[in-house]
Amino acid sequence: MPKTLFEKIWDRHVVKTIEGGPSVLYIDKHFIHEVTSPQAFKGLEKRGLEVFRPKQIVATADHNVPTIDQHLPIKEELSRIQVQALVDNTKKHHIDLYGLGHPYQGIVHVIGPELGVTQPGMTIVCGDSHTSTHGAFATISFGIGTSEVEMVMATQCLLQSKPKLMRINVEGTLNKGVTSKDIILYIIAHISASGATGYFVEYAGSAIRSLSMEGRMTICNMSIEMGARGGMIAPDQTTFDYLEGREFAPEGAEWEKKLTEWKQLHSDEDALFDKEITIAAADIEPMITYGTNPGMGVSVTGRIPAEADPKSLAYMGLQAGAAIKGKKVDYVFIGSCTNSRIEDLRLVASFVKGRKKADNVEVWVVPGSKQVEQQAIKEGIDKVFAEAGFNLRQPGCSACLAMNEDKIPAGKYCISTSNRNFEGRQGPNARTLLASPLTAAVAAITGEVADIREFI
C-alpha cells in the first residue's frame, strides 16, 4: 500500500497501539530547555524515577536568558534560579547541556539542526510548540507539554493519536524579494490560524524544493501557527549536503547506510492525504501581519481587510481598509527560531551594507545560536550591523516572547521576524508586525513598513 512520508516514519516508531485509543510512539530525540522542564524533573523525582534514556536528550538554555553580558550571573532572581535548575537537573541526570557560555548554546530549534542532532526519519519532541521546525529534515517533530516531557524522560515514549494528513504544494518560481517567510505567512493568511488544526502537514512542490534548509526550517517552524501538529519536507540533496560533516551527523560507512535509508523517505506517488492544497508561488508577495494572530496577514502593498476583527485592530491601533505600507515603526527585531540563522543574518547584512538605520527605530539583531553569532563575526556581519546602527545581541529567544528583559514597550510597533503577533507577546501592550528578514531590514532603514522590491 502506498504510504505518505509521515506514515513511513510513524509506522516504524509505533511500539503498540491501544485498542480504541492512542498509539505508544517511540521518541528518538528529546530537546529540553529551562522553562518547560523543571516541573517534569520534579515529577520524575516525586515518582522516584531516573531519566530512562539520558543520551537521547539534549538541553539548552534559551527562552529566559539575557542577550547581553551572558558571562555575568543573571540579574533577575527568578530567571537565574530557573536557568540554574536546568544546570542542576541535567547534571544530576547525566544529560548533555549546551548552557550559557557553551559554544553550542542557542535556541533549541536552531542548535538541533546546526549540530546535526536532527536527522531524517527521526521522531523528535520538545516542550515547545515550534519543535515543528525540525520537520524540515523529514522528521516527525512536534511540541509537547510538561507532563509529556516527564513521560518521555520516564519512558522515551508518548501516547499519540495519529493525526490527519495534509499536503501543501507550492509550485513555480518565487518572485523577487519573496522569501520562505512570505510563503508561510501567505499560507497561514489563506487557511487561517486554525486551518490545519488536527493535521500534520507535508510541504511539497518545486518552490519548496528550491529552498535552502534554512528556508525550509522557517516554513516548518510556523506550521503550528495554522494549528498543525507539525510540518515536514521530504529530504533531498539539499538536506544531505546540509547535514554532512556536522558534529553529530553519521560518518563514513554509517553515513552511507543512513543515506540509503533516508532516500526512501518520501510520500509514495499514490499516497493519500486527507486534504491537499496547491499554491502558485507567483501569487506570493512580501507579506506582513496587521493583527493579533499570524493568520492576519496581507501583502505589504495590500490593505487591512474591511472585515478584520475590530478588537485586534483596536489593540494594534490600525484601521480597517487602510494601507499598511508607510506605517511608522519603532522597533525592528531580527531573531527567533523562525529567522535567526546565519543565512537570515547574511541576507539582512547584504541589504543593509552601506546603509544606516532610520532615526526613529531601534534595531535588535539576536542570533539564534552561539555558532551563528561566531560565524557572523567571522564574516564581518557584526561590523555591517554596527555601521548601520543595529544592536547585535547574544543568542536566545529574546523579544520573540519577551520573557527576559528584551521587551517592546507598551503601544510601540515592532516589525519582527519571529512567529507570533499575539497580544502582549513581545511585552505588555506591544504591537507586533510579522515579516521576513528582508522586510524587517528595509523597515530598519526606512523607519516604516516598506516594499523591499522597490529597493533591490
- Provide the binding-site residues for another protein, judged by CB under 8 A: 12-13, 15-16, 18, 20-22, 24, 26, 28, 35-36, 38-39, 42-43, 47, 49, 52, 63-64, 78-79, 81-82, 85, 119, 121-122, 127-129, 143-148, 150-151, 154-159, 161, 163, 193-194, 197-198, 224, 227, 229, 293, 311, 401-403, 410, 420, 422-425, 428-429
- The CB-of-146 to another protein minimum distance in angstroms stands at 4
> Using alpha carbons only, what angle is made at residue 197 by residues 317 and 114, rounded to the nearest 5 degrees?
85
CB of 454 within 8 A of CB of 436? no
Comparing CB distances to another protein, the nearer of 89 and 371 is 89
CA 451 from centroid of its chain's CA atoms: 24
- The CB-of-111 to ligand SF4 minimum distance in angstroms stands at 11
- Does residue 139 sit in helix, strand or coil? coil
CB of 59 within 8 A of CB of 97? yes
Strand bridging mode 29-32 / 123-126: parallel
Comparing CB distances to ligand SF4, the nearer of 271 and 415 is 415
DSSP bridge partners of 109: none
157 is annotated as contributing to ligand binding: no
397 is annotated as contributing to ligand binding: yes
Cell of 77: 532572581
- The CB-of-179 to another protein minimum distance in angstroms stands at 23
Q: Given its phi and psi angles, is residue 205 left (phi above 0), alpha (psi -120 to 50 degrees) or beta?
A: left
From the list another protein, ligand SF4, none, pick the one residue 127 interacts with, judged by a Cβ distance below 5 to 8 Å according to partner type. another protein
Comparing CB distances to another protein, the nearer of 179 and 293 is 293
Comparing CB distances to ligand SF4, the nearer of 13 and 420 is 420
Contact positions vs ligand SF4 (CB under 6 A): 62-63, 107, 109, 128, 130, 336-337, 397, 400-401, 418-419
Q: Which residues of 256-268 are buried (b: 16+ CB within 10 A; e: fewer)?
A: eebeeebeebbbe
Q: Given its phi and psi angles, is residue 331 left (phi above 0), alpha (psi -120 to 50 degrees) or beta?
A: beta
From the list ligand SF4, another protein, none, pick the one residue 360 interacts with, judged by a Cβ distance below 5 to 8 Å according to partner type. none
DSSP bridge partners of 123: 140
**Binding annotation:** 337, 397, 400
Annotated binding site for [4Fe-4S] cluster: 337, 397, 400
